[in-house]
Amino acid sequence: MWSVIEVNELTKRYGSAVAVDDLTFHVKPGQVTGFLGPNGAGKSTTMRVILGLDRPTSGQALVNGRRYAEMRRPMREVGALLDAGTVHGGRTALDHLRWLARSNRIGKDRVVSLLELVGLAGVARKRIRTFSLGMKQRLGIAAALLGDPDVLLFDEPVNGLDPDGVRWIRELMRGLAAEGRTVLLSSHLMSEMERTADHLVIIGRGRLIADTSVRELVGRFQRGVLVRSPRAGELAEALTTRGATVVTEPDGRLTVTGLDAVEIGDLAAGRAIPVHEVTPHTASLEDTYLRLTAETTAYASSPERTAR
């Protein structure tokens, strides 16, 4: 599968502060790629560089093999929601979409149908200043979809949305990816990504921490299978001969890695060893993510103070 968004050895410094540090990752079509990292990790900066808004210090970002700044009518190729505040509050929702559409030669009928799609048709003639954050997010999503682009970038789109809105976004993203589009979705919340993304790019302090599918990530941090048996010693020996690594816990239970629960159960049954418990011990993605990014959190709260 080819890559639609390519970020190659990208570095961005603001003065002496390094926002993005030699970052390389590729985004493929037909799936939702989650772009994860703690606050200040460089997600928004990376997205701004992809959109040609910020100039990279070195390296480059390409969409469909080209720099964004070279596109003549970019909204037909790439749709982006940066932050919902990047609008003029005095304009109405309808007028905002109208000038955007006009700038890329997109028909007026698209404006109307998108206002309906995002549920803002009723407030189309109200000033954006009067909108809630959730309504502004919906307007931003309408703007991103205006040119019917094949590539979509969303920076923290669920901020400010109510549970219905969050679900709506999730289904929208999944639907867009299912149509074969490329969706890059940033968030600092793993719980959100777990349900939406197929692939994850995790960064911390501007550096790549992981570029992996959601399933692989779960697998990588699997902490084995917990097994309880009255004949633990015998079972441990049998498991070790089959290539598993076995650790005997202080309470007599075994933590087995290298074999899954099914294989362990079958093996025990074959040797007629009774087994009282077989529990696959999966680290939650949330835990995994926190562990991955713990060392790179830019604004960590100090434990001494929060403990009180």
Partner 1 sequence: MIDALAAEWLKIRTVRSTLIVLVVLAVFVGLMALLAWYAAAAWDAMTPEQRSHMAVSDLPPLAEWVASLALAVLGVLTITGEYGTGMIRTTFAAMPTRGAVLTAKAGVVAAVAYVTGLAAVVATFSVTRLIMGGRPIPGQSPEPLSDRLPLFLAMAFSITMFALLGLFLGAITRSAAGSIAILVAVWHLVPIVVSHLPAPWDERIGSLMPAALAGQLAGVGNPDSVYGSLLPPLVALAVMAAYVAVPYGLAALRLNRGDA
Residues contributing to the site for partner 1 (CB under 8 A): 48, 51-55, 68-71, 73-75, 80, 82-83, 85-92, 95, 98-100, 102-105, 143
What is the DSSP code (8-state) at residue 278? E
What contacts 24+ positions apart, CB below 8 Å, involve 21-27? Answer: 21/205, 21/206, 21/207, 22/59, 22/207, 23/59, 23/203, 23/206, 23/207, 23/208, 24/59, 24/208, 25/201, 25/208, 25/211, 27/3, 27/182, 27/184, 27/199, 27/201
CB of 127 to partner 1, least distance (A): 9
CB of 45 to partner 1, least distance (A): 9
184/177 Cα distance (integer angstroms):
10
CB of 100 to partner 1, least distance (A): 6
Q: Between the CA of residue 261 and those of 228, 231, 240, what are the distances in Å?
A: 12, 17, 15
What is the DSSP code (8-state) at residue 4? S
CB of 139 to partner 1, least distance (A): 11
Tell me whether residue 104 or residue 222 sits nearer to partner 1 (CB atom).
Answer: 104
The owner of tokens 């682009």 is 149
Tell me whether residue 186 or residue 288 sits nearer to partner 1 (CB atom).
Answer: 186
DSSP percent split of the chain into helix, strand, coil, nearest 5:
40, 25, 35
CB of 138 to partner 1, least distance (A): 15
Strand (E) or helix (H) holding 116: helix 108-117
CB of 245 to partner 1, least distance (A): 50
